[in-house]
Amino acid sequence: MYILIILTVAVLDGIWLTLNSHMYQRMYSNVQKAPFIVDWKAAIFAYLAIFIMIAFYAVPGVENAGGSFFDAIRVAGLLGLLTYAVYNFTNLAVLRDYSWKVAILDTLWGGVLFTLTSFIVVKLKKYIQI
């Protein structure tokens, strides 16, 4: 199950970040007043936190709620939405040039990422015996 979570998050977030890289690069360059550069060591810790939340809270929560897509939205989606909201709205509160547009879109993305990942994992677990 853990590998499936990692792969699903990597694929989904990779697609999201590729499609929206210009939005993030522009906004973070404005905030930092410097070119956008990712600190991959720090990013690993962020993804580790996402993995732990999905593996130990979202997926079990969706399974216990019944496993439907609505359950995934209600349980995992809310967890993702709130997690990303804390990050984004804290940034809005303390970083002068942080974008409302990015904050809202990224927060919604957190809900979508957790929903889709948890739903996919719950459904595939039945077929691949993990």
For residue 126, how many C-alpha atoms fall within 13 Å in the half-sphere facing its CB?
Answer: 7
pLDDT at site 130: 63
**Residue pLDDT, tens place only, 7-20:** 999 999 999 999 99
**Residue pLDDT, tens place only, 50-93:** 999 999 999 999 999 999 999 999 999 999 999 999 999 999 99
Contacts 24+ apart (CB under 8 A), 71-74: 72/115, 72/116, 72/118, 72/119, 72/122, 73/111, 73/115
Q: Give residue 126's pLDDT band: very low, low, confident or very high (50, 70, 90).
A: confident
Q: Which domain holds residue 67?
A: 2-128
Distance from C-alpha of 38 to C-alpha of 42, rounded to nearest angstrom: 8
On the 0-12 / 13-18 / 19+ scale of CB atoms within 10 A, 94 is exposed
Task: Name which of 123, 99, 118, 119 is nearest 25 in CA terms.
Answer: 99
Contact 120, 9 (CB under 8 A): no
Into how many domains does the chain fold? Answer: 1
What percentage of the chain has pLDDT greater than the value 90?
95
Contact 112, 77 (CB under 8 A): yes
